[in-house]
Amino acid sequence: MIYLDASALFSLYLPDANTPAAISLTTAADAPLLITPLCELETVNAFRLRVFRKELPALSVENAVRDLEGDIRSGVLLLRPLPEGSFARAGILAKALTPAIGVRAVDLLHVGAALELSVGSFYTFDQKQHRTAQTAGLKTNPLP
């Protein structure tokens, strides 16, 4: 399975600088694409922040939300619960990595969840999260 973080998921539904890379990565994927409710929430909130910032019209964002929900319902994206051990795993990572690279808690939680779910790969366009995932032993996508 391939864990998508919010930066990768966002780029699949609303155009940004990483959209071509996100499409290429997921089209070529040889394993199911997995997200957690944390990723879904963070992505949908990022969509709606674009409306707040007047970067996108509400209709475009609601269409993206509808498309994302449709892909979850149809099985294009596998929505898996956040494993209970994700928080403990994130705490261990925080102790080791936050002083060295300044990782946000939500990024640690994504990596902790990916480890708990035993995914094969972790896709992100966030440089710190990419480094965190690699340091934690996850296979990651190349950054554009």
Domains, the chain, ordered by start: 2-140 (3.40.50.1010)
The per-residue pLDDT of the chain, averaged, comes to 97
AA identity, residue 78? L
**47 pLDDT above the threshold of 90:** yes
Q: If you ran DSSP here, which 8-state letter would residue 31 be given?
A: S
- Two tokens, residue 43: 């992505």
Question: Any idea which residue has 């929505």 for tokens?
Answer: 79
Q: What is the pLDDT of residue 125?
A: 97
Mean pLDDT, range 17-45, rounded to an integer:
97
Sequence-separated (6 or more) residues with CB below 8 Å from residue 128: 101, 102, 103, 104, 107
**pLDDT-based confidence at residue 144 (cuts at 50, 70, 90):** confident
Q: What is the pLDDT of residue 48?
A: 98
* C-alpha–C-alpha distance, residues 22 and 4, integer Å: 10
**17 pLDDT above the threshold of 90:** yes
Q: What is the pLDDT of residue 113?
A: 98
**pLDDT-based confidence at residue 129 (cuts at 50, 70, 90):** very high
* C-alpha–C-alpha distance, residues 115 and 80, integer Å: 13
- Indicate yes or no: pTM above 0.85: yes
